[in-house]
Each structure stands twice: as structure tokens, then as C-alpha cells.
Amino acid sequence: MMKNIKELSIVFVGAGNLATNVAKALHLHGFHITQIYSRTIDSARVLADEVKAAYTNKLDEIQSNADLYIISLKDSAFVELIGEICKNKNEEALFVHTAGSIPMSIWEGYAKQYGVFYPLQTFSKQREIDFKEIPFFIEASTSQNAELLREIASNISDKVYEATSEQRKSLHLAAVFTCNFTNHLYALAAELLQKYNLPFEAMLPLIDETARKVHELTPKEAQTGPAIRYDEQVISKHLQMLADDERKQQVYELMSKSIHERAK
């Protein structure tokens, strides 16, 4: 693959949150996206319109002569469809997936040139993101492919790293704690506030300051609240307030004990 990277023909297999953001960022920086595939034709069309590409919802209509295929599907769908995706494609094409928890070795037996192109961030279609600060973790079957992925990622991000499949699994697990679990706690808080007719926006300055603090302190140093000193009087009152929701009680108690144990 000796072309200038901006001349590479790129096909996106998937049009979800991650694919939408990465495709739009590459398009904005002059990359040539030729086709979008999605199981849902409307999703394929919407993203294709954004990046001036063709689109399809049929696997057998995915272009066969592209230079780079970026697969961004749910893990289960990717594992199920990998054979169909790679079937009858350009033998010199580079195939990459964007999954945190799937090893690069998944490609073996399906593609000759392959790798991983993993941006560590939470994505939503409705929100534009500045990719400059988003870390990309790449892995590839050859040093030449790794260099190509590094060059592509460096066009949209200032933070590009190589990581093994094992390291990426750890990154993904840590990201679940950092993002998904944290956001779920916001959802639980929103339910509590709604119960007492209070606005969730009252939490936003607290959320922002908590996030800012860990830019300067370690998470352990930034921890505050009744659990760190295990204030049983406050904790007991809180648990009583959650008596009508056993699952929230369990979450509160488990989190409080975990905080206290790690503060010792």
C-alpha cells in the first residue's frame, strides 16, 4: 500500500457512535471514505451523506477493492460476520477493528494484512468531539501496517500509542469503570433527584469539579465523602433513605466499603 494516505480508499463497516465520529473526523481531515455499510439502511445513509460516500446494508455489496476496511460493530456481530466481511476482498487491503476487548488475532485466517485502530473515548452521534486529545491505541500485523495506522491516527489525534491486545483489554476494562459505571451512577443520582423534584443540573458543577481534580490529584487523593472515614451515622441514614430500592442500597453499600478499604 504505497499510496499517499489521503488517497487511500476507506470503507467503514458499521455506522454506530464510534464509526460515526471517526469517519467524520477522517473526512474532515481530507481522507477518502468511499462507502459505509450498516445493517440499518437509514444509519448507513445518514453517515454516508456526512462523509460523501456510497452506502449499503448488504454485506455482499461491500466494495471489494478498498485499501482500508475499518470495522466498527458490536463485538458479537463482528465475530459472527468477520468471514463475510473479508470474503472476496482486495488481498492487499488492510483490515482493522476498533474494539477494545477483541484481540488482533481474530483476523488470522481471514485477512492477510490486519490490525487494530482503537480510540479510547465515549462517543455519541449527537456530540461533536475534538479528536486532538483522544488517545488512539494501534496494533498491526507488520511494522509497515503499524506505521500506516500511526500516520492515519496522527492526522486527527496528537496522542497515538502502540498497545498489545492484552494491554488493550486492560484499557477497555479500566474505561468501563471510568466511564460506563460512573455514568450509571449519574443515572441513579438522577432517579433520586427526580423522586424529590430536584434538577439533575444541580449536580453538574460537582461532576465537573470531580473530573477536573483528577487532572491534578490521583483518584485516591481526590476521594472525599462519608465513606472514606466510614461515617456510620451518615451511611446508615443514606441506606434508610434507599430502603425502597434494594439494588441502590447494594450499590451504595458496596461502593462505600470499597472506598473505605482503599483509603486505609
186-215 per-position pLDDT tens digit: 999 999 999 999 999 999 999 999 999 999
Q: Which domain, by its residues, includes 193? A: 169-263
Residues 213 and 97 in one domain: no
Residues 185 and 131 in one domain: no
Of 163, 190, 210, the residue that ends a domain is 163
Residues 30 and 155 in one domain: yes
Residues 91 and 178 in one domain: no
- Helices 246-263, 232-241: crossing angle, 10 deg rounding: 160
- C-alpha distances in Å from residue 202, one per residue of 193, 199, 209, 212, 240: 9, 6, 13, 17, 23
What is the rounded distance in angstroms from the CA atom of residue 184 to the CA atom of residue 122? 13
User: pTM of the predicted model, to two decimals?
Assistant: 0.87
Q: What is the CATH number of the domain that holds 216?
A: 1.10.1040.20
Of 100, 135, 163, the residue that ends a domain is 163
pLDDT tens-place string over residues 57-106: 999 999 999 999 999 999 999 999 999 999 999 989 999 999 999 999 99
Handedness of CA 37, 87, 74, 169 (dihedral sign): negative
pLDDT tens-place string over residues 23-41: 999 999 999 999 999 999 9
Of 163, 198, 222, the residue that ends a domain is 163
Residues 140 and 125 in one domain: yes
What is the rounded distance in angstroms from the CA atom of residue 127 to the CA atom of residue 18? 11
